[in-house]
């Protein structure tokens, strides 16, 4: 109960912060405009940075925030129709576009949102993260999404321990989140002719786990999660170089 009350107050605080910053009336809260949505993300990121919340509470709050956005308005602001029609997509992996956040409003915490664009059969290859949180909001198309919890305490150099969690097809408006504490690994394979997801990440969080394996410059570790399950339901997933991960998982799955 205490967790739920705090979560609801945190979400409300994010919206109130947005409204007060932008000088809107209380009625504006109901419109879920992109500017208010972005300020909500900023408020939640600030709360996490200042240890006023924890990563799993951030995940719950951001999940709610992403599900509240007017997706049509967000797509319009991103000029998504032009993006969808004009871009040639690679035959392996994703094409990544950095979002210019000035259109969203003021930024007090650096979140650096990006759009991942995938042709059918290509993937956001399986990987885990260290010291970060992120949310993927599906903008268009469909992805086969697999997520994994990670066991840090028994991790060894060159391998991570993963437990399968989600294995679903997600579409526009659906959200997946990750942190060190929950759903740390993910793998997305495009199921439609084109599929797009907006990624919002907060990196360089304080050390909270015994990290046996360092991440790359983007706090990513590429893995192969297709091995057998142990009796306890865990996969000992070997760590892969980027080139091997892309060759093995970047194309049609």
Are 172 and 241 contained in the same domain?
A: yes
Q: What is the pLDDT, as a whole number, of residue 110?
A: 83
- Domain extent for 100: 87-249
The last residue of a domain, from among 71, 99, 122: 71
9 and 63, same domain (yes or no) = yes
Task: Give me 42's structure tokens.
Answer: 């900023």
48 and 94 belong to one structural domain: no
Q: Is residue 189 part of a domain?
A: yes
- The residues, any chain, with a CB within 8 Å of residue 26's CB and separated by 6 or more, are 19
Task: Give the alpha-carbon dihedral of 1, 54, 160, 200, to 10 degrees.
Answer: 110
CA distance 35 to 47: 18
Last-in-domain residue among 41, 71, 101 = 71
What domain count does the chain have? 2
**pTM for the full model?**
0.86
Spatial distance between the Cα atoms of 13 and 47, rounded to a whole number of angstroms: 10
**Do 233 and 174 share a structural domain?**
yes
Shared domain for 115 and 229, answered yes or no, is: yes
- Residue owning tokens 């919206």: 15
- Whether residue 215 lies inside any domain: the answer is yes
Q: Are residues 93 and 66 in the same domain?
A: no
96-142 pLDDT per residue, tens? 999 888 767 777 788 889 999 999 999 999 999 999 999 999 999 99
> Residue 3 above 60 pLDDT?
no
Query: Does the residue 235 lie in any domain?
Result: yes
Q: What is the mean pLDDT of the chain?
A: 86
The answer to whether residue 14 sits within a structural domain is yes
Measured CA to CA, the distance from residue 52 to residue 44 in angstroms comes to 9
In a domain, 107, yes or no: yes
Nearest to 45 by CA among 108, 102, 104: 108
Give the confidence band of 87 by pLDDT, cuts at 50, 70, 90. Answer: confident
pLDDT reported for residue 252: 63
Residue 203 in any domain: the answer is: yes
4-18, 99-113, 181-195, 207-221: range with highest mean pLDDT:
181-195
Is residue 124 included in any domain, yes or no? yes
Q: Which two tokens stand for residue 234?
A: 């865990």
The residue among 43, 71, 99 that closes a domain is: 71
Integer Cα distance of 221 and 130 in angstroms:
8
């Amino acid at each position: 109960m205490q967790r739920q009350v705090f979560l609801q107050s945190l979400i409300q605080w994010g919206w109130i912060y947005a409204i007060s910053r932008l000088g809107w009336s209380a009625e504006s809260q109901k419109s879920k405009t992109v500017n208010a949505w972005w300020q909500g993300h900023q408020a939640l990121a600030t709360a996490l940075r200042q240890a006023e919340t924890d990563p799993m509470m951030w995940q719950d709050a951001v999940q709610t925030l992403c599900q509240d956005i007017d997706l049509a308005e967000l797509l319009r602001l991103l000029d998504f129709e032009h993006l969808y029609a004009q871009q040639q997509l690679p035959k392996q992996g994703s094409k990544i576009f950095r979002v210019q956040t000035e259109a969203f409003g003021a930024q007090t915490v650096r979140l650096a949102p990006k759009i991942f664009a995938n042709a059918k059969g290509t993937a956001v290859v399986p990987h885990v993260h260290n010291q970060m949180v992120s949310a993927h909001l599906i903008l268009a198309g469909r992805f086969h999404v697999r997520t994994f919890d990670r066991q840090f305490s028994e991790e060894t150099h060159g391998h991570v321990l993963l437990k399968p969690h989600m294995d679903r097809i997600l579409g526009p408006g659906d959200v997946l989140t990750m942190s060190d504490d929950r759903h740390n690994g993910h793998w997305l394979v495009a199921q439609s002719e084109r599929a797009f997801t907006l990624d919002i990440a907060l990196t360089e969080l304080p050390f909270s786990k015994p990290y046996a394996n360092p991440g790359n410059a983007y706090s990513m570790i590429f893995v192969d999660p297709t091995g057998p399950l142990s009796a306890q339901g865990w996969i000992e997933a070997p760590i892969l170089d980027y080139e091997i991960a892309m060759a093995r998982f970047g194309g049609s799955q």
